[in-house]
Structure 1
Amino acid sequence: MTDQASGFNEKAARPDHQGHRNRLRERFRVSGADAFPDYELLELLLFAPLPRQDTKPIAKELLRRFKTLPGVFGAPRERLKEVTGVGDKVVDHLKAVEACLIRSAKAEIDTRQPLDSWSKVTSYLEIAMQHAEVEQFRVLFLDKRNGLIADEVQQTGTVDHTPVYPREVIRRALELSATALILVHNHPSGDPTPSRADIQMTRQIVDIAKPLGVEIHDHIIVGRGMTVSFRGMQLI
C-alpha cells in the first residue's frame, strides 16, 4: 500500500509535459509567432528532437548562452553540446533550421534576376556569415544585368585573418564570364570596421579587375548584427 501511494504521488508530481506542449501548440495556432517570446519559439522547436523532455529550461539556457535565436542556430556544434540536455539530435535539428534559413534568404537573390534589393543581399550575408567563428572570404559573381551567377566562399582563415589572392579572384570571375563582383568577408570579433589590410586588398582587386572589364560593386564586411559597405564609406 505504501509503495502504491508513493508511486502515485511521484506520478502526480511530474510536470504535465504533454499537456503543456498541447497548450503551447494551441496558443501558437491561435495567437501566432508574434505573441511568443524567443524562448517559447525555441521551446516549441525543440519538441521534435526531445519528445519526452521539458524543453523550456534547455531553450532558456541556449538563449542565455548564445544571446539571440540567430546566435543559437549559428553556434558551433560542440558549443551547443555544452548545454545540458543538448545532444546530437538537438544539434542536427538546430543546424537543419539554420540551413533552411540560409537557403530561404539566398533564394531571394539566387534567380539570375537583377539584384534590385540591397537589403535582401545583406540579410542573406548576415544569416550566412555573422556567427562564423573564423573569417571567410566570399565572392558574389554577377552578370551584366547584375544577376547572380555564383556565390562562392573562396577562402577560410583564422579568427582574424583570411588569405586572399586577388589574381585568383579575377581569374575565377573570367572563368564564369562575370562582369561585376561583390566581395564579402566577416569579422568574427563582431566589429565590421575595415582594417588597413582589408582596404589594401580591396584596392588590389579593383586595380586588377578594371582593365579586364570587371567592376567591383562593393566590399561588404559582416559583423554581429550589422554590415559595413566599402562603397558606402567611399573606400571604392
Structure 2
Amino acid sequence: MQEGEDERGFFAEVPPSPTKAGRLARQEKPHYYGHRERLRDRFRDNGAAALADYELLELILFRSIPRADTKGPAKALLKRFGSFAEVLGAPEHLLREVEGIGAAAATDIKLVAAAASRMVKGEIAARPLLSSWQQVLEYCRAAMAFETREQFRILFLDKKNVLIADEVQQSGTVDHTPVYPREVVRRALELSASALILLHNHPSGDPAPSRADIDMTRTIIETAKPLGIVVHDHIVIGRSGHASMKGLQLI
C-alpha cells in the first residue's frame, strides 16, 4: 500500500471482472431457457386445457430430454402419429424412430399411457359396469384403439356386473385374431363369472364388425347360455370410434 492510500480501499473486496467463459455462457444461453418454467406455470395455473397438444407433450418430454428443445420432437410426434392419443398408443419402437426421441423419452411416453389406462380402469373396477358405460368405452379405447395388432379382450363380471378380471385372451395379426369359444367359456367358469363383455380392436381404424366377428360372437353366446353366463355385448374398437354389436342389433 502506498503512502496516503486508504487501507479500507486496499482491503476492500474488488468485484472480479467477467471472464471470457462467463460472457460466452451468457451469450450462448439456450433459446428455450425460461420456456419450460413458463409452460409449467401455465399448466399449474390453468390446467391441461390451457395447453395445445404439442405443449402437453413437451411437458412430458422435459424430464427425459433435459438439455434440448422439446418443441420440435413434440410436434414431430404429432405429425407422425396424428393425435395426442395416438402418440401415447404408439408402440415404443415406432416412437424411437422419430427424430429427437430416444429410449428414455419413448419409455416415459409409454409410462404416461400406462398410468392413464390404469386410472380409467380404477374408475370402473369397483362399480357395476353397465351403469358406467361411457367410462367402460373410454377404458377400452385407451387400452386398445391404437394397438397395431388385433387383440381379443374379455371383461369378466360377477352377478352384480362388477368387474372380476380384464384379460387379453388372444393376440393376432393386423387383421385377424383366433378366438376359441370353448376357451372363453372355460375361463369364465374358472373365474366364477356370470357375465362377459367381449372386446376386440381393428388396427385398420374402422370399427365396423365383420361377418366373422358376428358369427364368432353368436357362437360364444350359444356356448355360454346353457351355463348361465350372459354376454352383454361385443364392442369393436377402432381409431375412429367404436361399434357395439348389441347397439347395432347384431346379437
TM value normalised by structure 2? 0.88
When residues 176 and 6 of structure 1 are mapped into structure 2, their CA distance, relative to the original with a 3 A threshold, is closer
Structure 2 gaps of 5+ residues are 1-18
Q: Is the 8 A contact 1:137 1:183 kept in 2?
A: yes
CA deviation vs aligned residue, 1:159-216 (integer Å, no higher than 9, x gap)? 0000000011001111111111101000000001111100110111111111111111
The answer for the alignment partner of 1:50 in structure 2 is: 65
CA distance in 2, matches of 1:227, 1:78: 26
Displacement of 1:114: 5.1
Kindly indicate whether residue 204 of structure 2 is the aligned counterpart of residue 186 of structure 1.
no
Give the whole-Å Cα distance in 1 for the aligned partners of 2:229 and 2:217: 13
CA distance in 1, matches of 2:156, 2:196: 5
Query: Which residue does the alignment assign to 1:150?
Result: 165
SS at match of 2:209: coil
Superposed counterparts of 1:198-217, under 5 Å: 198-217=213-232
Structure 2 partner of 1:27: 42
**Are the counterparts in 1 of residues 58 and 71 from structure 2 also a CA contact under 8 Å?**
yes
**8 Å contact 2:153–2:168 — kept in the other structure?**
yes
Shift of 1:19: 1.4
Contact 1:112 1:149 in 2 (8 A): no
- Give the match for residue 36 of structure 1: 51
2-structure distance, mates of 1:172, 1:145: 19
| In 2, Cα distance between equivalents of 1:116 and 1:17 | 47
In the alignment, is the contact (CA less than 8 A) between 2:201 and 2:238 conserved in 1? yes
Aligned-pair identity (%): 58
- Choose 123-132 or 218-227, whichever is displaced more: 218-227
* Contact 2:206/2:240 (<8 A) preserved: no
- Report deviation, 1:36: 1.0
| Counterpart in the other structure of 1:79 | 94
- Aligned residue among 180, 184, 190 for 1:165: 180
3-state SS of paired residue (1:235): coil
CA–CA separation in structure 1 for the residues paired with 2:162 and 2:21: 69
Between the aligned partners of 1:114 and 1:156, the Cα distance in structure 2 is: 24
The whole-number CA distance in structure 2 between the counterparts of 1:64 and 1:138 is 30
Q: Which residue of 1 aligns with 2:82?
A: 67
State the alpha-carbon separation in 2 of the partners of residues 231 and 208 from structure 1: 18
1:99-143 alpha-carbon deviations (Å, 9 max, x no partner): 001100111111264541110101000000000000000011111
CA distance in 1, matches of 2:101, 2:26: 25
Q: Which runs of 5+ in 1 are unaligned?
A: none
User: Greater CA deviation, 116-125 or 18-27?
Assistant: 18-27
Larger of the two Rg values belongs to structure: 2
Give the paired residue count.
233
Contact 2:207 2:240 in 1 (8 A): no
Tell me the TM-score normalized by structure 1. Answer: 0.93
- Rounded to whole Å, the distance in 2 between the matches of 1:48 and 1:134 is 30
Q: Report if the CA contact (8 A) 1:109-1:115 is conserved.
A: no
Which amino acid in the other structure matches residue 147 of structure 1? V
Structure 1 residue 123 corresponds to structure 2 residue 138:
yes
Aligned to 1:235: 250
Per-residue Cα deviation, 1:13-56 (whole angstroms, up to 9, x for no partner): 55333311122222222232212111111111111111111000
- Whether the 8 Å contact between 2:152 and 2:169 is mirrored in structure 1 is yes
RMSD between aligned residues: 1.8
* Matching residue of 1:175: 190
Q: Give the equivalent residue in structure 1 for 2:27.
A: 12
